[in-house]
Amino acid sequence: MSKPKFQTVTGMHDILPQDQAYYEKIQEAAKKVFSFYDFEKIDTPILEDANLFIKSVGENTDIVEKEMFTLKTKGKDSLVLRPEGTASIMRAYLEHGFLSLPQPVRLWYYGPFFRYEKPQAGRYRQFNQFGVEIIGEADPIVDVQTILVMYSVLNDLGLKGLMVKVNSIGDDNCRPLYRKALVKYLREKKSGLCSDCQKRMKVNPLRVLDCKNEKCQEVLSSAPQSVDYLCEGCKKHLKDVLEYLDELKVPYCLDSRLVRGLDYYTRTVFEIESTKAGENTGGVLAGGGRYDNLSKMLGGGETPACGAAAGVERIIAEMKENKARVSFSSVPEIFFAQIGPLAKKKSLPILEDLRKAGIKVGEAFGKDALKAQLGKASRLGSKVVLILGQREALNNMILVRNMQTAKQVEVKQEDIIKEVKNILKEK
């Protein structure tokens, strides 16, 4: 068969009906946990000013250097399809004066994000994320609350083998010292690094730490670790985070290589991965951290904050791997069949009455023969079939056939709902 003329563009996918239940289940699970913890939902536009991400995520990051879908408007503005959520939400926080609200402000979001990446399993150019931001609080307990809410959603979805990796990358006081020590070490080992890392070493040396290249991994095995360079404030912050984590039943480990590539992160960074990851997921399901400098980077004041995001498509791949049960649309227990033009004409209002009464009804309006309609009813497994023939349509009556007992009664159309509800109750 030849390929159809038009197809989805590289890295972008249709979400087909058979997968919708996964998306719904994930949104419901997220909403349930986030509402309990008093997060309010926010939606920001898909297009944002390119500078928003250049200033916050950072010029020398993969996202800004290689992955932004940028477009120029007719008015010559440079806009991007948002690659992540945090910068937009901090923009909204500053734009709408959320600073005057009781702090911290807790927000959550769900929606599509775009990165011009090389498409592969678990890595798409359009993907969905849900996430949380807690803005206006410096206490390390909110770092752990951020971890906890993300972990809880994944756990409630039935994912197994979850592991939280935590690290601290310090702040403006101590990170320059660590950076210096790391660069010194990497310079000495330069020839052992991949060509990408030789470049990264100059512009964003911390990124070298999460290079997956085996050669680089070997060099990094004895590299200096950020936790050894933390100032007193950052050390205390990390200690508190770990103590709060100890009180929870959340499996975690300290991972000195975890840096996360974006410029706005300070102190705590974390990722949640599935240790039982299937081939399709790539392991990391969610990530986040503290970003105490982001507000200032965007022209606001000192506003400490913390947040995280999770990738919906990777979670779905994991759910499928874990054979998680999701319920697809419910089977209609009632089926409506019509015979003859008059009955067909009267059908739509009757179905509408049943819908308003909350009764799900199947139909096959495109088919006129009763046999074909009953065939569909039995394929659907409907328990009751309502039959409206020419005679019933004239007399305002309808036949109600109980498919289990094969009993059939004629009732007034005005009594259909009562009758159907009785039969459904009897089952």
Binding site for ligand AMP (CB under 6 A): 84, 115, 117, 122-124, 127, 129, 284-287, 309-311, 313-314
Q: How would DSSP label each residue in 46-72?
A: SEEEHHHHHHHT-TTSHIIIII-EEEE
Q: Which is nearer to ligand AMP, 39 or 265 (CB)?
A: 265
HSE-up of residue 53 (Cα within 13 Å, Cβ side): 26
Q: How far apart are CA 44 and CA 50, in angstroms?
A: 15
> Cα dist. 154→15, 91, 163 in Å?
21, 28, 11
Query: Whole-number minimum distance, CB 305 to ligand AMP, in Å?
Result: 15
Q: Which is nearer to ligand AMP, 271 or 333 (CB)?
A: 271
Question: Would you call the peptide bond into 224 cis, given omega within 30 degrees of 0 as the criterion?
Answer: no
| Residues 256 and 223 sit within 8 Å (Cβ to Cβ) | no
Query: Whole-number minimum distance, CB 396 to ligand AMP, in Å?
Result: 56
Q: How far apart are CA 364 and CA 336, in angstroms?
A: 8
Ramachandran angles phi, psi of 387, nearest 5°: -120, 120
Q: Which is nearer to ligand AMP, 149 or 364 (CB)?
A: 149
Residue number of the CB atom closest to ligand AMP: 311
Query: Whole-number minimum distance, CB 181 to ligand AMP, in Å?
Result: 26
Q: Which is nearer to ligand AMP, 273 or 363 (CB)?
A: 273
Q: Which is nearer to ligand AMP, 210 or 419 (CB)?
A: 210
Query: Whole-number minimum distance, CB 113 to ligand AMP, in Å?
Result: 7
Query: Whole-number minimum distance, CB 95 to ligand AMP, in Å?
Result: 22
Q: Which is nearer to ligand AMP, 52 or 351 (CB)?
A: 52
Query: Whole-number minimum distance, CB 58 to ligand AMP, in Å?
Result: 13
> Cα dist. 413→387, 397, 400 in Å?
11, 5, 10
| Residues 405 and 421 sit within 8 Å (Cβ to Cβ) | no
Q: What angle do CA 287, 147, 31 make, to 5 degrees?
A: 90
